[in-house]
Amino acid sequence: MTLVKLGFLMVLSGLAPFGLGVLLARSSGYALKTPVLILGTTAIAALTLAGLASRALYAPGEGRWPLPAEGPCKSWRLLAYISLALAGAVGVLLQTVWCTGDLTIPLGVLGILGGYFSFAPPLAWQRRGLGEAFGSLCFGLGAVFAGYYLQSSNLVTEILVLGVPLTLAAFNFFFMLGFPPAGQKSWSRPFGLAERLGPVGAALLYTVINILTVVCLVFCLLFPASRLWPHHLLWSLILLALVGQEMVKRRAYYHEARLRQLCWLSLALWWGMNLVFALILGVRL
């Protein structure tokens, strides 16, 4: 996969939960603020590219899906700095000119912590075993919260209903990306929480997170704001989570090919949540 395609997919992945937050605001009765939507989309894209540049600079060959070795370090560093500067400028505009609320800048800071500083020193969360937590917040609850808050300047509990399962699914995906290759105890350099826990401990944590994910999906299924036909699609997401759990039960983490399948399954679960939640919110408009 080329870096252009990877960058596009990452930006799209960052915008998906952000778009859910915007849809939630619209379905809650708030008028769409088009300039805020454009600026917010720009900020999310910039923060995502900053995270990609940070990965290319400080951990290009690490993880289950290493980045292709393309482009000099100076180019990646320039992309990271431009992206961070753009995101910062957009955040200031949103809070001062468009009056999107006092939490606008803190949301941007969370994006920087979970994106750029996941790999960049001095924080380098990924090597400390915290990268999965920060990254999953940025591709889950944090992004949904940002999409809703920038449009409404308010909070609603349904942000948690959508954001928490997305965060859990994103965590397991990032967690599996950091899982050492089958038959090896570690990567060439420290990379991720799974390496620290070891195969058995990592499988246990994956199981706990997966169970919490299923609980959240069951909650969405049993206690909707109003029962609509897309709610039945939640069963398919629960089935995906159960398939992943069965693979872990059968010790898929001892086989490289099945580890990769588990990564794809975790990614499919996360994207499936985005699509099903978008359908539910779209029907409510």
> Each residue of 115-152: pLDDT tens digit?
999 999 999 998 888 999 999 999 999 999 999 999 99
Residues 152, 111: Cα–Cα separation, whole Å: 19
Question: What is the identity of the amino acid at 8?
Answer: F
Q: How confident is the model at residue 70 (pLDDT cuts 50, 70, 90)?
A: low
CATH assignment at residue 199: 1.10.357.140
State how far the alpha carbon of 73 is from the alpha carbons of 50, 56, 64, 69, 115, in Å.
13, 8, 21, 10, 18
- Per-residue pLDDT at 65 exceeds 90: no
Domain extent for 89: 3-284
Q: How confident is the model at residue 1 (pLDDT cuts 50, 70, 90)?
A: low
Helical H segments across the chain, by residue range: 3-27, 34-58, 73-96, 104-114, 125-128, 131-138, 141-152, 158-177, 193-222, 234-249, 256-284
Tally of domains in the chain: 1
Averaged pLDDT, 13-32 = 97
Q: How confident is the model at residue 69 (pLDDT cuts 50, 70, 90)?
A: low
Question: What is the identity of the amino acid at 46?
Answer: A
Whether the model clears a pTM of 0.85, i.e. scores above it, the answer is: yes
Q: Which residue has the higher pLDDT, 57 or 238?
A: 238
